[in-house]
Structure 1
Amino acid sequence: MKILIIGATGMAGSAITAAALANGHTVTALGRSAEKLAQLPDHTNLTRMAKDAFSLTATDLAAVDVVVDAMATPPAQAYLHVDLATKLVAEVRTKTSPRLVFILGAGSLHTGADHHLLVEDIAADPANAGFLAIPQNQLKELTFLQTVDNVDWVGISPAADFHAGPATTALTGTDDLLVNAAGQSVTTAGTMAQAVLAEIEQPAHHQMRFTVANAD
């Protein structure tokens, strides 16, 4: 498949890029920094595109089968998560391709006996004030996507602790925060990448969000 990965130089995006290439896909790695894109390993199936995601055209998107939105933002610009999702949806509405895959946050997952949103726990800790806008806007992004019924989209949320690391055996769920047998709620970038590739290659979720975590 032809896959466009937005945010291909970031933690999630670079892991997804590597996994897609390893599985034989043709990848266009999009990032704002040509210098960072140049640091991606050379591969015959890799094309680097130094471009702002907001300047992508309908023609750019029509050239691929799948678009993965793994864009990261600073907290002060966290609203761009919603803006980019809106742009991508607007460009592909009513078209059969590309499929849109969004890497979402864990804040929109439910947790606790009362089934509250994890973002409420994040907001309750003053130490998180500096980055709170990110999970808040990723929740808004999911809320927007849930109104979209004429685009083939899927969202994937990690567990509470999302960090770099290799793939492990995965746990999957739908809307509830996952915790493994050791009481940990962790997703490594490698595990996320494998979940993304599995969904791309054998689609099982349409117009919905699911979540993935490390089983160990």
Structure 2
Amino acid sequence: MKIAVIGATGMAGRAIFEEATTRGHEVTAIVRNVEKARAELGAGATLLVSDIFDLKRATLEQFDVVVNAFANHKEAYLNLDAVTHLIHEFRQSETRVIFLLGAASLIQANGTRLFDFLVELPGNEAWIDEPRYGVLELDILRATPDVNWTGVSPQQNFTPGPASEHRIALNDLLLSADGKSHVTAGNMAVGVLDEIETPQHIRERFTVSDM
């Protein structure tokens, strides 16, 4: 399968690139920095050098699946802009698009979103925009019937680490054996590749958790 990973040098993107490569797929890393990509992904990695906002349908439709792992933690509005840009390019396309989303829209045990808790925390002004835009991204995708999309959210704490035992859910904030909500990049990558190879969540979001 031909898979492209936008943002393949980030934590999530690199894990997905490596998992897809290990499984024998034909993987292309879409990156801006060639030197960084070669250093992190290897000299033999297939690269497509482009800013996400310069990507067009004619280029992206050569792939069976495009994974959007783009993330800007300083200018969070760009994450929303990236989603809407890709929606525009993929309308009525058969190419599948996997969007890595945030955890803020996950539902806690009390029935409220994680975002509803985060927005009440004191001193959140420096970081609340990222989860706020993340909630909007999912809302927009859910209102988009003519794009072949799937959303994937990590749990509250998304950390580097290898694949291990994991589980998935649709919209729930999950607690691992230690009573905390977390997932490693390795487990996220396995969840994404399992979904690519055996589609189960067309036009819906799911989440991956450590056990």
TM-score (norm 2): 0.95
Of 128, 133, 137, which aligns to 2:129?
133
Corresponding residue number in structure 2 for 1:21: 21
User: Alpha-carbon deviation of 1:182?
Assistant: 2.3
Which of 105, 109, 126 does residue 108 from structure 1 map onto?
105
Deviations 1:4-39 (A, max 9, x none): 101100000000000010000111111222221121
Cα distance, 1:49 vs structure 2: 2.1
User: Is contact 1:37–1:50 with CA below 8 Å preserved after alignment?
Assistant: no
Once the two structures are superposed, residues 83-113 of structure 1 have per-residue CA deviations (whole angstroms, 9 ceiling, x without a partner) of 11111111121122x1000111100111132
- More off after superposition, 80-89 vs 2-11: 80-89
Aligned letter for 1:87? H
For the Cα contact (< 8 Å) 2:20–2:193, is it kept in 1?
yes
The offset of 1:181, in angstroms, is 2.9
Query: Per-residue displacement from partner, 1:150-183 (whole Å, max 9, x unpaired)?
Result: 1110001111100100111112111110112321
One-letter amino acid of the structure 1 residue matched with residue 90 of structure 2: V
What pairs with 1:101-180 in structure 2 (closer than 5 Å)? 101-113=98-110, 115-180=111-176
Percent of residue pairs identical: 41
Match of residue 37 from structure 1? 37
- 1:56-95 pair list within 5 angstroms: 56-75=55-74, 77-95=75-93
- Cα distance between partner residues in 1 of 2:124 and 2:188: 23
2-side partners of 1:198 and 1:128: how far apart? Answer: 35
Higher alpha-carbon deviation: 84-93 or 127-136: 127-136
CA contact (8 A) 2:183 2:210 kept: yes
Structure 2 CA distance for aligned equivalents of residues 33 and 199 of structure 1: 28
Is contact 1:171–1:178 with CA below 8 Å preserved after alignment?
A: no
**Cα pair 2:5 2:27 within 8 Å, conserved:** yes
Count of residue pairs brought into register by the alignment = 211
Contact 2:99 2:151 in 1 (8 A): yes
Deviates more, 1:17-26 or 1:82-91: 82-91
SS in 2 for 1:204: coil
Give secondary structure in 1 for the equivalent of 2:41.
coil
2 CA distance for matches of 1:71 and 1:157? 13
Runs of 4+ in 1 over 3 A off after TM superposition: none
| Structure 1: gaps (5+ residues) | none
Q: Tell me which amino acid in the other structure corresponds to 1:48.
A: L
Q: Give the counterpart letter for 1:130 in structure 2.
A: A
Contact residue 152 and residue 207 of structure 1 kept, 8 A = yes
Aligned amino acid, residue 49 of structure 1: L
Alignment RMSD: 1.3
Q: TM-score, normalised by structure 1?
A: 0.93
